[in-house]
Amino acid sequence: MDARLIDLLPELAVAGLIGAGLAAFVLRPVFDRIRSARAWWVQLAAAAVGVTLVLPATVLIFEQTRYFTVRGLTEVGSAAFEEPPMSETGARALEDALRPGETWASVTRLGRCADVDLYLFYWLAFRLVPNPPDCARPDVEIFWKVAPPPGAGIVARGTDYAVVRS
């Protein structure tokens, strides 16, 4: 996130400048009318800074949106600008393999339902509702960055995943 922010500094600076112009335009009529109120300048400055900063904030949201769009994410994003815990194609292969009511489990190098990173299992649990996870006897398993056992019934396979039906 920090590295991305540094990359975005020029855009953020330009957005801030435009925002300052916008703040001057928006608050000018107010400036002309409130100067007899107590502490008017403090309140006006706070509002002006707020309006100025709203454009850089919008630029950040735009960048975040672009990040999701490039990766084809339609359902869930990821924390800040970090990568999602699993590729979109892997998640969709598992979704396609599941029939209504069937259960699933994820398998990593640490074992079944054991997360290499904390969020893979949760991330899949969100994606696969209403199919519930079952870490004891799943109908379908996805092997993530680990090879399935020999002879497993692979129904879909990618560079870093294999979907296996029990």
Q: How far apart are CA 128 and CA 122, in angstroms?
A: 10
Work out which of 17, 126, 160, 166 binds other proteins, going by CB under 8 A: 126
Minimum distance from residue 57 beta carbon to other proteins (Å): 4
Q: How far apart are CA 8 and CA 6, in angstroms?
A: 5
Q: Which two three-digit tokens encode residue 21?
A: 């112009």
Question: Could you say whether residue 3 binds other proteins (CB under 8 A)?
Answer: no
Minimum distance from residue 150 beta carbon to other proteins (Å): 29
Minimum distance from residue 22 beta carbon to other proteins (Å): 7
Q: Which two three-digit tokens encode residue 66?
A: 């672009």
Question: Could you say whether residue 11 binds other proteins (CB under 8 A)?
Answer: no
Backbone angles phi, psi at 81, to 5 degrees: -110, 20
Minimum distance from residue 81 beta carbon to other proteins (Å): 10
Footprint on residues 20-79 left by other proteins (CB under 8 A): 22, 25-27, 29-30, 32-34, 36-40, 42-47, 49-51, 53-54, 56-58, 60-62, 64-65, 68-69, 73-79
| C-alpha dist (Å) from residue 93 to 74, 109, 140, 150, 163 | 15, 20, 11, 20, 7
Question: Could you say whether residue 89 binds other proteins (CB under 8 A)?
Answer: no
* DSSP one-letter string for 99-137: PTT--EEEEETTEET--SSTHHHHHHHHHHTTSPB-SSS
Minimum distance from residue 60 beta carbon to other proteins (Å): 7
| C-alpha dist (Å) from residue 2 to 8, 53, 82, 127 | 10, 18, 11, 28
Question: Under the rule (CB under 8 A), what is the footprint of other proteins?
Answer: 22, 25-27, 29-30, 32-34, 36-40, 42-47, 49-51, 53-54, 56-58, 60-62, 64-65, 68-69, 73-80, 95, 119, 122-123, 125-127, 129-130, 132-134
